[in-house]
C-alpha cells in the first residue's frame, strides 16, 4: 500500500469507502449511475482529536485499519491516489464494524 500523505486535523477521519453493491439479490447488475453511495469503509487516517466548548479534550475513538459505518450525507470527498475517499468528523462515524 502506498504511503498516505494526508493527515486529518482535529477530529476528522479519512475513510476509504468499500465498494458499493453491484448486483441486486435478484441478480440484476446495477450501472455505476444507479449504485448507492457506500456507507462503510476502512479508516485510513485520524486526526489528533479536539476539545469541547469547555476546553476538555475529546479523544479519538476510531483507529486506523478499523471498518466503520458512517453517515450517508456529509463529509467531504477527496481524491487519494486517483480514488475517491471521504473525510468525515468523528461524530459522523456511526459504528465500528467487526
CATH number at residue 74: 2.30.33.40
Residue 6 lies in a domain: no
Please give the residue that has the higher pLDDT: either 8 or 31.
8
Residue 40 lies in a domain: yes
DSSP 29: B
pLDDT digits (tens, 9 = 90+) for 49-92: 999 999 999 999 999 999 999 998 878 999 988 899 999 999 99
Domain that holds residue 64: 12-19+29-97
Q: Is 55 inside a domain boundary?
A: yes
Instruction: Decide if 64 is inside a domain.
Output: yes
Give the number of domains in the chain. 1
Q: Is residue 5 part of a domain?
A: no
Look up cell 476546553; give the residue. 55
Residues 89, 11: contact at Cβ < 8 Å? yes
Instruction: Tell me the pLDDT tens digit for each residue of 14-51.
Output: 999 987 655 556 766 655 554 456 689 999 999 999 99
pTM above 0.85, yes or no: no
The burial of 16, by beta-carbon neighbours within 10 Å (0-12 exposed, 13-18 middle, 19 or more buried), is given as middle
The span from the CA of 97 to the CA of 49, in Å, is 21
Reduced to 3 states, what is the DSSP secondary structure of residue 70?
A: strand
Spatial distance between the Cα atoms of 88 and 98, rounded to a whole number of angstroms: 20
In a domain, 76, yes or no: yes
46 in a domain, yes or no? yes
Amino acid at each position: 500500500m502506498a504511503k498516505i500523505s494526508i493527515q486529518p486535523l482535529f477530529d476528522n477521519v479519512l475513510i476509504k469507502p468499500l465498494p458499493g453493491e453491484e448486483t441486486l439479490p435478484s441478480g440484476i447488475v446495477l450501472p455505476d449511475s444507479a449504485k448507492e453511495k457506500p456507507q462503510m469503509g476502512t479508516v485510513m487516517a485520524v486526526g489528533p482529536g479536539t476539545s469541547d466548548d469547555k476546553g476538555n479534550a475529546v479523544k479519538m475513538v476510531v483507529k486506523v485499519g478499523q471498518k466503520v459505518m458512517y453517515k450517508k450525507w456529509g463529509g467531504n470527498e477527496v481524491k487519494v491516489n486517483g480514488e475517491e475517499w471521504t473525510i468525515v468528523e468523528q461524530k459522523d462515524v456511526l459504528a465500528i464494524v467487526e
